Structure 1
Amino acid sequence: MSTLIPTVKNGNKKPSESNFNLLPNLPSWFDDMLGKGLGTEFMSNFNTGITLPAVNVINSDNEFVIDMAVPGLKKSDFEINVDNHVLSIGVESKTENSEKTESYTRREFGYSSFNRTFAIPDSVDADKISADYNDGILKIHLPKREEAKRKPVKQVKIS
């Protein structure tokens, strides 16, 4: 699971619940080992060449926007869920082709899927999250709560 944005308190990152924060957790260690040590050729789906898509996370004054390039899919292929401050983006795509002629029959099929998860900060209004998919780009809009939006700088006059 990726963290959408680190939580900051009093200018420092939020302390972890345990003193073992220097040790990597097993899933992140395994992902790092596969992603860096063995190369990305093991991360792709050999049927379609689809890899785990990279994302861009944009932090504007009013919202976070997650951009994901996933061409060749339909809106119905996506499943986007929010549960207990976790945003989950999943895709499952199946293709099937068959061809018959006098001398042979051929049937090809493929299957690809991925799932990306992100921790959503408390500053996001989870009830107003929306998504759109155009020209192979999935955009997920995570609007910030009113109290979390950046306010303009206020100049204080000295009396």
Structure 2
Amino acid sequence: MSNLIRRNSFFDDFITRDLFDFNRQRFSPSENTLPSVNVLEHKDAFEIHVAAPGIKKENFKIDLERNVLTVSSETREEHSEKDESGSFTRREFNYSSFSRSFTLPENAAAEKIEAAYEDGILKITVPKKDVTMENIKSIEIK
């Protein structure tokens, strides 16, 4: 009889609680797989705002390769529970990641890029560099 009670308890935990617990999310907390991004252009810089609430600062990665700025993040969570008797364990895993890439214009000062994360917004500042006449070459027509 005690085995039957354990099975009912097992059934209740995994079927009833999971199926009818409408307040608990089973997937990523956001409905989107990519965060929203705003790109602003100012007189002296570009700003990229990435809306990523709930992501820790250390989970972000920003790379620059061949004039392409890539912002990415990866998070992994694990949750486990044991019943009172220790006869079963329930483990749940959550994995989420994203990656966004931006091609920088020629007047971007790539060596001076800065980033800050505050209130769920990752703010990347890309200063502009002056385009001088030295970079412009005139070609003589023969």
Partners of 1:72 and 1:112 lie apart in 2 by 12
Partners of 2:42 and 2:73 lie apart in 1 by 27
Compute the displacement of 1:140 (Å): 0.4
Compute the displacement of 1:47 (Å): 2.6
What does residue 98 of structure 2 align with? 114
Percent identity (aligned): 48
Work out the number of aligned pairs and report it.
103
What does residue 60 of structure 1 align with? 42
1:21-45 CA-to-partner distances (Å, cap 9, x unmatched) read: xxxxxxxxxxxxxxxxxxxxxxxxx
Q: Point out where structure 2 has 5 or more consecutive residues left out of the alignment.
A: 1-25, 133-142
What does residue 81 of structure 2 align with? 99
Q: What amino acid sits opposite 2:121 in the alignment?
A: I
Compute the displacement of 1:107 (Å): 1.2
- Cα RMSD for the two superposed structures: 1.6
What does residue 135 of structure 1 align with? 119
1:92-133 CA-to-partner distances (Å, cap 9, x unmatched) read: 110111122225422111000111001001101000001011
- After the TM superposition, list the runs of 4 or more consecutive aligned residues in structure 1 that deviate by more than 4 angstroms: none
CA contact (8 A) 1:47 1:111 kept: no
- State the TM-score, normalizing by the size of structure 1: 0.61
Rg larger in structure: 2
Q: Which moved more, 1:129-138 or 1:96-105?
A: 96-105
Aligned pairs for 1:2-17 within 5 A: none
Q: What amino acid sits opposite 2:110 in the alignment?
A: A
Q: Point out where structure 1 has 5 or more consecutive residues left out of the alignment.
A: 1-45, 149-159
Compute the displacement of 1:70 (Å): 0.4
What does residue 52 of structure 2 align with? 70
1:27-79 CA-to-partner distances (Å, cap 9, x unmatched) read: xxxxxxxxxxxxxxxxxxx7314421121111000100001110011111111
Write 1 or 2 for the structure with the bigger share of helix. 2
SS in 2 for 1:146: coil
Tell me, yes or no, if structure 1 residue 47 matches structure 2 residue 31.
Answer: no
SS in 1 for 2:43: coil
Partners of 2:130 and 2:107 lie apart in 1 by 9
Compute the displacement of 1:146 (Å): 3.3
